[in-house]
């Protein structure tokens, strides 16, 4: 399969639930490569068994050992072996390990080939009953309430959708945090178990979901921008000072973007807020 003397690194999307979503191209690649780097060899072995593939060598590569495994995989690629990178489900490198290997492959001059396919993020966008013209994907929320509220507070001021993953046992707490931030009337889209038997897609105000949300399965949540929901509030919570807002924004965004967003939130000149954030950064 390699085009030259070295092997190729194939970044292969695998099903997020329904095995029928595996593309024929992905199946062919997985059957022909010499090595598959995967998060969990047991899960990948089950996938290979389902499609009748037994040949590739499986190497576990996850958050805790990626830096140790990457050099050996690069050596295999340089020796002419083709390698496939897969995650437990969906498209690799979307909140999954693999970047160290990918970056190392580029630095080593190895050909990297994307094999597109299932993605929980894109599947959620495709079925969203609220408009999504622009969006930002944020991965997983912090597990503790205080930093989680800080992130959610920032997102509530955006005029574009924010899409994130959430663990089932934290769904109720996350929704409760949104209510505490004054977003109980904000409509959210909750996608649970996409492509699986118990798939469920719900669009409803946050407050109505706190007690009814199912705390099992895998979740993708879409928080529409404040202009996409007529019930969204434009005002900041009373306990958030302008200085605190500027501190949070400058830590999370480029200064120009942070100043533009702050200007819309507090109705003050962008240049003034930009200068204030520069002062906060330099301590002057």
Say if 51 falls within a structural domain.
yes
Q: Per-residue pLDDT tens for 209-253?
A: 999 999 899 999 999 987 533 333 344 555 557 788 888 888 888
The owner of tokens 């306990």 is 239
Say if 233 falls within a structural domain.
no
- Residue 61 pLDDT exceeds 50: yes
- Residue 56 pLDDT exceeds 70: yes
How many domains would you assign to the chain?
3
Q: Are 273 and 183 in a shared domain? A: no
Query: What is d(CA 226, CA 153) in angstroms, rounded to the nearest whole number?
Result: 12
Q: Are 31 and 108 in a shared domain? A: yes
Q: What is the pLDDT of residue 283?
A: 62
Q: Are 84 and 172 in a shared domain? A: no
Query: What is d(CA 9, CA 6) in angstroms, rounded to the nearest whole number?
Result: 10
Say if 230 falls within a structural domain.
no
Q: Give the rounded percent of residues in the chain with a pLDDT score beyond 70.
A: 93
Q: What is the pLDDT of residue 219?
A: 97
Q: What are phi and psi of 279, to 5 degrees?
A: -65, -40
Q: Are 22 and 109 in a shared domain? A: yes
Tell me which of 118, 152, 182 is where a domain ends. Answer: 118
Q: Are 132 and 203 in a shared domain? A: yes
Q: Per-residue pLDDT tens for 87-127?
A: 999 999 988 899 999 999 999 999 999 999 999 999 999 99
Of 156, 200, 161, 203, the residue nearest 179 (C-alpha): 156
Q: Are 201 and 177 in a shared domain? A: yes
Task: Read off the pTM.
Answer: 0.75
Q: What is the pLDDT of residue 4?
A: 54
Query: What is d(CA 86, CA 37) in angstroms, rounded to the nearest whole number?
Result: 6
Say if 97 falls within a structural domain.
yes
CATH number of the domain that residue 134 is part of: 3.30.950.10
Q: What is the pLDDT of residue 147?
A: 93
Q: Give the rounded percent of residues in the chain with a pLDDT score beyond 90.
A: 70
Tell me which of 60, 87, 118 is where a domain ends. Answer: 118
- The domain in which residue 273 lies consists of 242-282
Of 16, 55, 63, the residue nearest 33 (C-alpha): 55
Say if 21 falls within a structural domain.
yes
Q: What is the pLDDT of residue 261?
A: 83
């Amino acid at each position: 399969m390699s085009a030259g003397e070295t092997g190729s690194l194939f970044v292969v999307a695998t099903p997020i639930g329904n095995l029928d979503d595996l593309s024929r191209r992905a199946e062919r690649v997985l059957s022909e490569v010499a090595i598959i780097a995967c998060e969990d060899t047991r899960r990948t072995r089950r996938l290979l068994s389902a499609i009748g593939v037994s040949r590739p060598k499986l190497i576990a590569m996850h958050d805790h050992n990626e830096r140790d495994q990457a050099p050996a995989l690069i050596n295999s690629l340089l020796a002419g072996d083709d390698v496939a990178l897969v995650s437990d489900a969906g498209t690799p490198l979307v909140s999954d390990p693999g970047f160290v290997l990918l970056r190392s492959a580029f630095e080593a001059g190895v050909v990297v080939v994307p094999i597109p396919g299932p993605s929980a993020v894109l599947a959620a966008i495709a079925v969203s009953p609220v408009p999504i013209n622009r969006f930002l994907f944020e991965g997983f929320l912090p597990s503790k309430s205080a930093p989680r509220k800080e992130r959610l507070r920032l997102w509530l001021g955006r005029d574009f959708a924010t899409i994130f993953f959430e663990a089932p046992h934290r769904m109720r707490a996350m929704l409760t945090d949104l209510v505490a931030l004054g977003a109980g009337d904000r409509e959210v889209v909750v996608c649970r178990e996409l492509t699986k038997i118990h798939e469920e897609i719900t669009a409803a105000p946050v407050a109505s979901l706190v007690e009814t949300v199912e705390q099992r399965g895998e979740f993708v949540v879409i928080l529409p921008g404040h202009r996409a929901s007529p019930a969204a509030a434009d005002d900041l919570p009373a306990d958030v000072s302008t200085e605190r807002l500027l501190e949070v924004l400058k830590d999370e965004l480029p200064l120009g973007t942070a100043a533009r967003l702050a200007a819309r939130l507090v109705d003050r000149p962008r240049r003034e807020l930009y200068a204030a954030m520069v002062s906060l950064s330099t301590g002057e």
